[in-house]
Amino acid sequence: MTFTPIVLVGPSGVGKGTVLSALRSRCPEIWLSVSVTTRLPRPGEVDGEHYFFLSDDAFDSLIESGGLLEWAAYQTSRYGTPRAAVEEKIGEGRAVVMELDVQGARQVAARLDGVRTVFLAPPSWEELRRRLYGRGTEAADVIERRLDTARGEMDFMEHCDHVVVNTEVESAVRELVKLIGLAASEQPDQRAEKDIHR
């Protein structure tokens, strides 16, 4: 069976982490890409599980050798997706999922043959706003900055291969399972997914 490598992208607060956790619970055979970063580990983070923690020199070497499918700088640190690991898992016939931001998704789509970009969208802008404020973990000014960023991220939706609306976690997971090819005999629910023909 051939699986389609997926890049999952969506605005902050849409529930990417929750959906991916549920996806892994349902389909533990899925391989989630682990990013490399130059930042130091936070308490509880495990090298190789949460991130691969690299020195600046090691990160530079990966860039120079073409070893990253995508990379970006955030504040004082850099993050990227290792090319070798992704290509190895695809070559092994594994179902591969990468969770990336818009910039990373664009880079991977341009550099990796056969990958499909999937935009995880909120049911509405009002619902996205409600979810972000409902977390209760950030100040209002931080949330408003996230919403400003989300407006730009939402524009990328029209450039993705598929859109999955995260109205309910289990329905979103079912759509992703079908898109990856783990349920090849089923057809995606057109109410929660649409193809964007480029």
pLDDT in tens, 99-149: 999 999 999 999 999 999 999 999 999 999 999 999 888 899 999 999 999
User: What is the SS3 assignment for 142?
Assistant: helix
CB 139 within 8 Å of CB 133: no
Which pLDDT band holds residue 45 (cuts at 50, 70, 90)?
very high
Residue 1 has pLDDT above 90, yes or no: no
Where are the alpha helices (H) located in the chain, listed in sequence order? 16-26, 56-64, 83-91, 102-111, 125-135, 140-155, 169-180
Whether the Cβ atoms of residue 81 and residue 98 lie closer than 8 Å to each other? yes
Token reading at 34 = 């682990």
Q: What average pLDDT does the structure give for the chain?
A: 90
Could you give the CA distance from residue 23 to residue 44 in angstroms, rounded to a whole number?
A: 23
What is the total residue count of the chain? Answer: 198
Mean pLDDT score, 4-8: 96
**CA 9 from chain center: how many Å?**
4
* Interatomic CA distance for residues 100 and 117, integer angstroms: 10
Q: Which two tokens stand for residue 12?
A: 């902050």
> Is residue 188 pLDDT above 80, yes or no?
no
**In this predicted structure, what is the pLDDT of residue 198?**
29
